[in-house]
Amino acid sequence: MINDFDKHQRSWFKERTLRLGIIILPVALILILLLLILTDFSGIKGKVSGENYIPVIANINAKTASQEVSDGERVEQGDVLFRLFNQNTNLETLVKAEGAGLFYGVNANFDGVEQGQTLGFVKYNQPSNLLHLQLERGQQHLFNIGDNVILSRNEELLEGTITLLLGEREQGSGQKIGIAFAPHAPTIKLLPGTEFEIILPKQLSEVSQRK
């Protein structure tokens, strides 16, 4: 009797588990599909930032930092702004301008620099081929320098490349990014406060169909 009861109980448990699995599995698949759709096609929204003073940040811990250009001097992208020397490794690291503009240093020379420390600022021009965006709070996508993106404002599309990553990169929310465009990119009004949606690489095929 006990053996028959055990068999019946095991059979009932298996049947119940199977029924639950049949119910739960489709629901889980639907939820995963919805998550993928939202992740791939929601886009990243932000506004053109009115700020064009971009900090020059030390990229290593260094014993000394030597300023290579004068305050108010015009610099071009790639110009060396600081030379950082790490006494422990006996290595020199160059800090270069991320774009063209006027340079202003916090101090001409530093004795001891920490990674992430602000060494100065570059007042970047805001030409049609360089755009600074402030992402909306809550955005969790993290960009990388060199990522290709497309900005969409209504039916206008503008392709560009990420050149700067500034502020709250770890959290993503409120992140500032800089985007460079080809010199002869279509000109659209990039006034401070203009709202854009950043189209992620996974959406490029969809965007090309819209063009």
Q: Where are the domains of the chain?
A: 1-41, 43-51+126-210, 53-124
Inter-CA distances, 192 with 19, 65, 156, 180, 196, Å = 57, 34, 17, 16, 11
What digits encode the pLDDT tens for the residues 78-126? 899 999 888 777 788 899 887 778 888 876 566 788 888 888 888 765 5
Binned at pLDDT 50, 70 and 90, residue 41 comes out as very low
Q: Do domains 43-51+126-210 and 53-124 have the same CATH topology?
A: no
Please report, rounded to a whole number, the percentage of residues in the chain having pLDDT higher than 70.
59
The string of DSSP letters for 148-199 reads: EEEEEETTEEEEEEEEEEES-TTT-TT-EEEEE--TTPPP----TT-EEEEE
Exposure string of 28-41, with b = 16+ CB inside 10 Å and e = fewer, is eeeeeeeeeeeeee
What digits encode the pLDDT tens for the residues 121-171? 887 655 556 677 877 766 656 677 788 888 887 777 778 888 777 654 444
Inter-CA distances, 91 with 82, 98, 170, 211, Å = 14, 22, 28, 49
The CATH-assigned architecture of domain 43-51+126-210 is: Beta Barrel (2.40)
Res. 2: pLDDT tops 70: no
The CATH-assigned architecture of domain 53-124 is: Beta Barrel (2.40)
